[in-house]
Chains A and B, each alone.
Chain A
Amino acid sequence: MSGDRLTLGAVAYDPKVVTIWDGFRRWFAAEGLDVDYVLYSNYERQVEELLAGTIDVAWSSPLAWVRAHRLAEAAGGGARALAMRDTDRDLTSIVVAREGSAVEAVHDLKGKVVGAGAVDSPQATLLPLAHLGGLGLTGELTVRRFEVGVGLHGDHVGGERDAARALMAGEVDAACMIDGNHLLFAREGLFPPGATRVVAQTAPYDHCNMTVVDGPGGPQPGREALLGRFCQLLFAMDYGDATVRPLLDLEGLKQWLPGRLDGYAQLEAAVDGSGFYDGAGTVTAEGYRP
């Protein structure tokens, strides 16, 4: 952070991320706010640089949020979720089996192979597996992970698509995915009509947010003013404004909403249950190399 400039971190999970943040940067500049961005190849590095103060605000995956606030709290400070997309609220993950297979209900998964996404995917691995664990299936099934884009916290759809393909090929008995991807894969023809059965669905949870961390001394007044203006402008982005609408479309939202914290409890529990991070935000997941 320097002077009147706000530096935002984002993870480059797709080339369009450059288009998005370049566009937002120009839009903020036209509104009189100097916002620059730094792209990271993975969320762990971004969280660490947020804590180090290299960036003022991080566009965080839900898992990155969990780690950021744990790290900040362990250092005697705290973290805040300033904003989120309308599409980040109330998502669910599902476990899908082939219609007509031996897996008719969730308990039929005992002794079976479940395809999941990358090790660090909240929606395709951590949350659905924790949900199955909560139904007493921990240790009762074999998990086969489809590791695409490790370090991207599941932003890359590849792992979920590979798990879905494996399901239809009969290589796994069930596959985990976010609700929207079931519709996507059905429309793509990967799931023909009537070919799949949803055997489990998590409770709703929230996804990405704009994260800031504060040290033990609390918010820094100079930066707070910039963050305040940043949020004001985010919330003012209007889907009716043709200059910003293409960027909102690319980023997958209709409007920015204030951040809320009640949608992350499931993921906190899943992280603890799987030992992905410890309580202080240290990476403890075995073999996780972003």
Chain B
Amino acid sequence: MSALAEPLPQVALGGIGLDRGGHLLIDQALRRLRPGDALLVTEGDAHLELHLRAWARSRGHAVDGCVLRKGNAADRRMAGAVRAGGTGPGGIVDRPPSSWGLAARGSLVEAGGPDLASADLASRPQVWSDVAPKLYAQAAASQWDPTTAVDWSATASLTAEELPDEIESAVVQVMTYLVENEQAALMVPARFLGRIHPHFREVVQLLAVQVADEARHVEVFTRRAQLRGFPLGVSGAGGRASLQTLLDEPDWSLASFLLSVLGEGTFLSLLSFLERCAPDPVTRQVARLALQDEARHVAFGLAHLTEEVAGDRALRDRLRAAIERRHDALASTSGLAPDVHDAMVVLAAGSWAPTAIAAGWAKVQALQADMDDGRRHRLVRLGFTGREAAELSALHTKNFM
């Protein structure tokens, strides 16, 4: 080195050996240098030269005594690296490649590594909705604890006069029906959750919370059913056949349509009916809690399908075909079990007095009209005409979900 040369850049290790993290100090100093640049390492431990020789070799740097000459391996390692979009929702790309895999959105992704081929739901129009971040934040903030959010003693302490056994068994039958519906509502998003590209982080998060919501719904309806020591009611074959068609739908958009827009949409009316008409406070409370969550589930399904339909006119025909197909598949089944329908009437009646039964019957009739209204309204939001919406709503499963 000539006398005019600038002094070498240095890094002092303060007595820390390369076996105790000293190499981190060296790496940090090297980051400021270019390949080919020299770095003098000082103040190591007794093994500095020995360890420097071995460490530099393994990292692709040249070494002479305590002077390193930076290699290009670190630069080459990141030569093919790309940014996985931007961190915020504004940085979402239309088609994140499977090679980004599990990398955080906005991270610098080293080339190579496994393809996340299982995440095949990877196109923005299909998966994303701009409301997802807001809905996720709301969902996270609205998580409730089944043990404390419900005053379980309020129903348990009712006397047999306040809540007659015949009415209680109607409530238990409705709860039995709700549990199996909630289980289907849990499994459908759970099946798609692992197929959505993690680039659409907020959608994955939202669906994950949705699954957790359904887990709590299963819990609270089960707890309500058990509250007064009655055995659970009947699980009708027709109801389960209807739910099975939801699980069998392999297409994400169609499954989301059938479950969230039509099924959970219809449940908004049902849960609201239970909140208003149930004979005991716990049933009203659990219906209200589930209703808040379901409103979010419906909002997301409707929002992402509205955006998807806007960019894909043919999708509406596929949605229509999905309803028709499901209707045909269920044509030979009974739909809503008579036990469930009758139980809803008795639940709303609150007693076996003939006038009360007639009033309960009228309330269930009104409920079914309300369900149909809601479905038609949501179908119109998706761009169907009023007439089409009425036709399609009529084909919806008698099982409600």
Judged by a CB distance under 8 angstroms, whether B60 is at the interface is: yes
Q: Give chain A nearest CB distance to B355 CB in angstroms.
A: 77
A238 to B60, CA, bound (A): 13
User: Which residues 204-243 of A sit at the B interface, judged by CB distance below 8 A?
Assistant: 238-243
Q: Give chain A nearest CB distance to B37 CB in angstroms.
A: 17
Judged by a CB distance under 8 angstroms, whether B112 is at the interface is: yes
* In-complex Cβ contact of B112 among A182, A245, A252 (8 A): A245
Tell whether, in the assembled complex, residue A242 and residue B110 are in contact, meaning their CB atoms are under 8 Å apart. yes
* B25-59 Cβ-contact flags toward A at 8 Å (1 or 0): 00000000000000000000111001101110110
A212 to B55, CA, bound (A): 31
Tell whether, in the assembled complex, residue A246 and residue B112 are in contact, meaning their CB atoms are under 8 Å apart. yes
Tell whether, in the assembled complex, residue B79 and residue A254 are in contact, meaning their CB atoms are under 8 Å apart. no
A170 to B387, CA, bound (A): 92
List the A residue with the shortest CB-CB distance to B111.
Answer: A242
* A174-186 Cβ-contact flags toward B at 8 Å (1 or 0): 0000011011001
Tell whether, in the assembled complex, residue B54 and residue A180 are in contact, meaning their CB atoms are under 8 Å apart. yes
Tell whether, in the assembled complex, residue A240 and residue B76 are in contact, meaning their CB atoms are under 8 Å apart. yes
Tell whether, in the assembled complex, residue A239 and residue B112 are in contact, meaning their CB atoms are under 8 Å apart. no
Q: Give chain A nearest CB distance to B17 CB in angstroms.
A: 6
Judged by a CB distance under 8 angstroms, whether B71 is at the interface is: yes
* A107-151 Cβ-contact flags toward B at 8 Å (1 or 0): 000000000000000000000000000000000000000000000
| Chain A residues, CB < 8 A from B19 | 183, 186-187, 191, 193
Judged by a CB distance under 8 angstroms, whether A94 is at the interface is: yes
Tell whether, in the assembled complex, residue A254 and residue B50 are in contact, meaning their CB atoms are under 8 Å apart. no
| Chain B residues, CB < 8 A from A187 | 19
User: Which residues 153-209 of A sit at the B interface, judged by CB distance below 8 A?
Assistant: 179-180, 182-183, 186-187, 191, 193-194, 196-198, 201
* In-complex Cβ contact of A198 among B20, B50, B76, B79 (8 A): B50
A230 to B53, CA, bound (A): 30
Judged by a CB distance under 8 angstroms, whether B338 is at the interface is: no
CB pairs A–B below 8 angstroms (12 shown): A90-B57, A91-B57, A201-B50, A239-B73, A239-B77, A240-B80, A242-B112, A242-B113, A243-B112, A254-B60, A254-B73, A254-B76
Given contacts A197-B46, A239-B73, A242-B113, 18 further A-B contacts (CB under 8 A): A179-B51, A179-B53, A182-B51, A183-B18, A183-B51, A183-B55, A186-B19, A186-B47, A193-B17, A198-B50, A201-B50, A240-B79, A242-B110, A245-B112, A246-B112, A254-B60, A254-B71, A255-B60
Q: Which 4 pairs across A and B sit closest by C-beta, in order of nearness?
A: A242-B112, A186-B19, A240-B79, A242-B111
- Name B's A-contacting residues (CB within 8 A): 17-20, 45-47, 50-51, 53-55, 57-58, 60, 71-73, 76-77, 79-80, 110-113
